[in-house]
Amino acid sequence: MAGMNRRDFLCLSAAAGLAGCASAPDAESSRKPNIIFLMADDLGYGHLGCYGQERIRTPRIDRLAAEGMRFTDCYAGSTVCAPSRSTLMTGFHTGHAYVRANTGGVPLRPEDVTVAEVLRDAGYATGLFGKWGLGAEGTTGVPTRQGFDEFFGYLHQIHAHFYYPDYLMEGETRFPLPGNADGARGQYSHDLVVERALDFIERRQDEPFFLYVPFTIPHAETLVPEDSLAEYRGEFPETPYEGSHYADQPTPNAAFAGMVSRLDRDVGRIVDQIDELGLGEDTVIFFTSDNGSISGFNIDDEVFHGSGPLRGFKRDVYEGGIRTPMIARWTGTVEPGAVSDLPWAFWDFLPTAAELAGVSAPDGIDGISVAPTLTGEGEQPRHDYLYWEFEQRERWGRAVRMGKWKAVEPARDAPLELYDLNADLGETRNLADEHPDVVERMQAVLAQAHTEPAPQVEPGWQP
């Protein structure tokens, strides 16, 4: 690779059967690009300034969008946590992925191939800092058994609901947090995760690396340190949340806004470190959220409009539950200020990362690479359809998008609803009766996109 510029690198990739490279960017690079994937938890499509938010300040993420490409039609893998992360890691949509339940305890299997394994085999250092959700302690799903060299954070998603835990996980070992002993609030877990991510970049800067940072904020529990809470205290009407699941939260709106702005600040810190180390042209940075906007916990959507123009929230298969912010910056390669309406989803990340690394993705996955859209080179393949399914206790739903058409099955055995997203982004006019031919095509996809999942072992979380 020594002395090879990015044009030559992409041409070499094409020679290996990857995307074309007729006129790849001229910026010189003697290394494969670093890949950073930053993911918020329960951040809605409308919670960022660059997607229309007016009450919460997100200057650093807005700047990231101005320096890179903002996608308007990108989708999470699911409308909830664990299956969404499963699609991101394995390249399968939820009709084919192994982990489809949202318990946090169903582990990936040894035979599941993750993006971390693909990139580690391509010579990347791999680090995960934050919330995993794809395997509890002692299972085959823990990150260090699924391609990650380093891991610090939460394994089980129920554990990740709390920001002042007694411990986090370091690799496969519990890492005690004495500042939180006996109910104290001395060590905010988000801050510890960010410091570990920054340290990883510092230590791994001389080799290609894959850094995955699935932040826990702004998922409830709605708590944030005083320096972030003070920024918004008194700006919004408040109804204290006193539910049994979390401690009393007297200012949920101010705390939520503070969490989003703290997230914004720390995304900026990661971007700044990349730039200060001179790695901007060698690093692709993605930013997104794991599913649609949080709903409940007395966070007032009439204040924040977290789904923006979209219908629904987390746990819905309407657009507000699955469409997510997505920003990609690659200095010197991705056009600054670009906006793309390419429909793509989390299961496309694995083949995209593989193409960027110059290796092949596993056969048979559902994802396709969006690298041509990022680089502006080659023809961008498109999905025939995008598919989601979701089941959690009493909640159930399936959805398909084909071009402008979106079909929603909102409950088991419910009539299929049909929407024209080009004319009706808010999914307010059900056109199923007017387009029976389209409904028939959608029903055919629903019939063939789902495979029966294998029995899933679910070790519980032990505090």
For 406-429, write each residue's pLDDT tens digit.
Answer: 999 999 889 999 999 999 999 999
- Looking at domain 393-449, which CATH architecture does it have? 2-Layer Sandwich (3.30)
User: 31-379, which class in CATH?
Assistant: alpha beta
| pLDDT level of residue 8 (50, 70, 90 thresholds) | very low
Residue 392 vs residues 81, 342, 415, 450: alpha-carbon distances, Å? 11, 29, 20, 16
Confidence check: pLDDT of 22 > 50: no
| pLDDT value of position 212 | 99
DSSP 254: H
391 or 84, greater pLDDT: 84
CB atoms within 10 A of CB 201: 19
> What is the rounded CA–CA span in Å between residue 193 and residue 167?
12
Dig out the tokens for 282 from the structure. Answer: 């060698």
Q: pLDDT tens across 137-180, in order?
A: 999 999 999 999 999 999 999 999 999 999 999 999 999 999 99
DSSP 16: T
Which helix or strand (DSSP H or E) is residue 301 part of?
Answer: helix 301-304
**Degrees to nearest 5, angle at CA 367 with 362 and 369:** 90
Pairing of strands 405-409, 167-170: unpaired
Confidence check: pLDDT of 36 > 90: yes
| pLDDT value of position 396 | 87
* Percent of the chain at pLDDT exceeding 70: 92
> What is the rounded CA–CA span in Å between residue 220 and residue 235?
20
353 or 101, greater pLDDT: 353
| pLDDT level of residue 1 (50, 70, 90 thresholds) | very low
Confidence check: pLDDT of 447 > 50: yes
127 or 26, greater pLDDT: 127
Q: SS3 of 334, please?
A: coil
| pLDDT value of position 15 | 41
Amino acid at position 343, single letter: P
Maximum distance among all alpha carbons in the chain?
Answer: 62
Output phi, psi for 301, to 5 deg: -70, -20
Q: pLDDT tens across 179-201, in order?
A: 999 999 999 999 999 999 999 99
In the block, tokens 């206790």 appear at 393
| pLDDT level of residue 461 (50, 70, 90 thresholds) | low
| Residue 440 C-beta-side C-alpha neighbours within 13 Å | 4
Q: Which residues contact 162 (CB under 8 A, 6 or more apart)?
A: 189, 221
24 or 288, greater pLDDT: 288
Dig out the tokens for 93 from the structure. Answer: 């949509």
In the block, tokens 């387009």 appear at 435
| pLDDT value of position 434 | 98
| pLDDT value of position 12 | 41
Residue 389 in contact with residue 94, Cβ under 8 Å? yes
Domain ranges in the chain are 31-379, 393-449
> What is the rounded CA–CA span in Å between residue 432 and residue 107?
38
Confidence check: pLDDT of 102 > 90: no
Confidence check: pLDDT of 380 > 60: yes
* Percent of the chain at pLDDT exceeding 90: 86
Q: pLDDT tens across 217-268, in order?
A: 999 999 999 999 999 999 999 999 988 778 788 999 999 999 999 999 999 9
Confidence check: pLDDT of 13 > 50: no
> What is the rounded CA–CA span in Å between residue 251 and residue 242?
11
What does pLDDT average to over the chain? 92
Confidence check: pLDDT of 18 > 60: no
Confidence check: pLDDT of 314 > 60: yes
| Residue 324 C-beta-side C-alpha neighbours within 13 Å | 32
Full-model pTM: 0.93
Could you give the dihedral angle defined by the CA atoms of residues 83, 221, 299 and 51, in that order, rounded to the nearest 10 degrees?
A: -50
| pLDDT value of position 460 | 66
Q: pLDDT tens across 104-134, in order?
A: 789 999 999 999 999 999 999 999 999 999 9
Confidence check: pLDDT of 388 > 70: yes
> What is the rounded CA–CA span in Å between residue 220 and residue 240?
13
Q: SS3 of 49, please?
A: helix
Q: Where are the beta strands (DSSP E) in 15-154?
A: 34-40, 69-71, 74-75, 125-131, 150-154
333 or 244, greater pLDDT: 333
Residue 169 in contact with residue 182, Cβ under 8 Å? no
Amino acid at position 325, single letter: P
| pLDDT value of position 2 | 32
Adjacent-strand bridge partners of 420: 405
